[in-house]
Structure 1
Amino acid sequence: MRALTSRRSKAHAAENKADPAPSRLKYRVQRWMLTPGIRMGLRVGLPVCAILAAAGGYLASEARRDHLVGLYTEARAAFETRPEFMVNVMAIDGAGESVATDIREVTSLDLPLSSFDLDLAAIRDLIVGLDPVKTAAVRIRPGGILQVDVVERQPAIVWRSRDGLALLDETGAFVAELGQRGLHPNLPLIAGRGADRAAVEALKLFAAARPLGERLRGIVRVGERRWDVVLDRGQRIQLPVERPVAALERVIAVSEVKDLLERDVAIVDLRLPTRLTVRMNAPAVEDWWRIRQLNESSY
């Protein structure tokens, strides 16, 4: 009996011993903690949230925010106004004295200034907006120099309009007002409404009209469509809308062979490219009628 009781007690003790396996809830919690997203959230998310909460609490005070803004502004100003970032002078190359003065006036920079306060693109746009300036480049050179390199428009033609005389470049862009024609006597003269927009074609006509020499006075834009070449003695060559250069070369070739422009001719009309029409001066017409009447009376 004693042995049997001992065996029963040992079996009962083994049954009452704790089960080493985790409970179902504990098992699920452990598995949940092993998820990569959860682990990353606990490792990174919680510290970040804690920092943000602390920062939000600190910045909740307006006085503290103003203090931080003031510190940032002072630090930025101290950095931007360091000597190596300051621009002290403006250097302008490629521009005449009057154009350089206009550039300084239009930019109106109160130097010295920090390079961080200069908008180089805006400064360049202001300079290029000046009539005499064709192109411009703006940069900051070492030593605190604002370098402006300018290419001026070169006058190539004089335009006479209702507003007076003006200088144009080879593209027809406005350069400057011209008080007197005598200031640029060697430049070709164009006139008429819309002549500036056809300056390129006008220069081609002047090149073709070189054989006319000093007889050429200028060319006039008619109806914003075509050109009249004006010569001395009141002569005109009326050119067509299409291919005016070729028509002018044709007239010059005929004149060199038959002395057309040396005669008492008022107008050479080429508005119809296939037909050349000549209009005589009034005295020449009267002489022609007189000669005709004399010939008729002789019969």
Structure 2
Amino acid sequence: MRQVTRRDPAPSRIAYRMQRLLLTPLFWRALLWGLPLALVLGGTGLWLSDADRRQALVEGATELRRQIEERPEFMVQIMAVEGASDPLAAEIREILHLRLPVSSFDLDLQEVRDLVAALDPVAGVRVAVRPGGVLQVDVEERVPAIVQRRSEGLVLLDATGHPVAPLAAREDRADLPLVAGTGASRAVPEALALYAAAEPIAPEMRGLVRVGERRWDVVLSGGRRILLPEAGALRALDQAIALHQAQDLLTRDVDVVDLRNPRRPTLRLGRHGTEQLLQARSDR
């Protein structure tokens, strides 16, 4: 008698896994969202595969951007420079060389700020686009505090020693003190303090000369000098002024008052003073 093999009613392993997958919520979400997304991306890719279509899309986007950027509310019509003198304002306009009107999207405000800040007379600058199409440039201008004589000519410096502008003639800023010598610009704060302390002898003052980039000589009328030490220059100058007020030192025929060694001040007499001293000694 022939034996019949019965079929196993249990699903195969693959069928079982497929059934389990169909019952998974994540699968249905992926099917619900992933399939339409794949169709959209595939259709888009197929549409963009044509070079003419891509070119038309780029041109359309460029034109749309241009229309937005050139809307009146985004256009800069004028530039306002505040806080600067007329010559500095003119120089700022010249270096920026903006062709107005221009879209604010085409303005690099950081570049504008850097160009203005690089000018010697400018201590600080703020740049912004104000409502109404105004490019606002607020400038903090350096204030000349002293004149430095250099080999190439005269230069105005601020109180920190930073250059402000060239000076054509000393007479143009005779109200400012004068310094000279290598390294003088790096010691402007000390020079200003010495000038302030020398107020009692201001009529005799002609300037300060930096010597060896480490100390000052006070230049007086007639080429006379007070040699100040490297350290304690202000104290030494006060000592010289006190000596003058007590004994009329600077009215005598003295060429040099050497205070480089404050413990041993030295006087160098002029020719007339030397002759008088020799005559006095010979009369003894």
Q: Which amino acid in the other structure matches residue 90 of structure 2?
A: T
Q: Structure 1 residues 291 and 18, CA, compared in 2 at 3 Å: closer, same or farther?
A: closer
In the alignment, which residue of structure 2 is the partner of 1:84? Answer: 73
How do 1:17-28 and structure 2 match up within 5 A? 22-28=11-17
Q: Structure 1 residues 164 and 17, CA, compared in 2 at 3 Å: closer, same or farther?
A: closer
How do 1:111-122 and structure 2 match up within 5 A? 111-122=100-111
Deviation of residue 37 (structure 1)?
Answer: 5.7
Deviation of residue 53 (structure 1)?
Answer: 2.3
Q: CA RMSD in A?
A: 2.3
Q: Which amino acid in the other structure matches residue 49 of structure 2?
A: A
Instruction: Render the CA deviation track for 1:154-180: whole Å, top value 9, x for unaligned.
Output: 111111111111111111111111111
How do 1:53-72 and structure 2 match up within 5 A? 53-72=42-61
Q: Which amino acid in the other structure matches residue 177 of structure 1?
A: P
Deviation of residue 276 (structure 1)?
Answer: 1.4
Residue 231 in 1 paired to residue 220 in 2? yes
In the alignment, which residue of structure 1 is the partner of 2:172? Answer: 183
How do 1:159-170 and structure 2 match up within 5 A? 159-170=148-159
How do 1:6-155 and structure 2 match up within 5 A? 22-34=11-23, 38-155=27-144
Residue 252 in 1 paired to residue 241 in 2? yes
In the alignment, which residue of structure 2 is the partner of 1:157? Answer: 146
Instruction: Render the CA deviation track for 1:28-70: whole Å, top value 9, x for unaligned.
Output: 1122345566555434444333332222222222211111100
CA distance in 1, matches of 2:95, 2:267: 54
CA distance in 2, matches of 1:30, 1:210: 103
In the alignment, which residue of structure 2 is the partner of 1:261? Answer: 250
CA distance in 2, matches of 1:34, 1:256: 109
TM normalised by structure 2 equals 0.91
Q: Which amino acid in the other structure matches residue 31 of structure 2?
A: L
Deviation of residue 277 (structure 1)?
Answer: 1.5
Q: Structure 1 residues 30 and 274, CA, compared in 2 at 3 Å: closer, same or farther?
A: farther
Deviation of residue 85 (structure 1)?
Answer: 0.6
The gaps in structure 2 that reach 5 residues or longer are: 1-5
Q: Structure 1 residues 18 and 275, CA, compared in 2 at 3 Å: closer, same or farther?
A: same
Deviates more, 1:103-112 or 1:250-259: 250-259
**Tell me, what secondary structure is at the counterpart of 2:174?**
coil
Q: Structure 1 residues 33 and 159, CA, compared in 2 at 3 Å: closer, same or farther?
A: same
In the alignment, which residue of structure 1 is the partner of 2:207? Answer: 218
In the alignment, which residue of structure 2 is the partner of 1:12? Answer: none
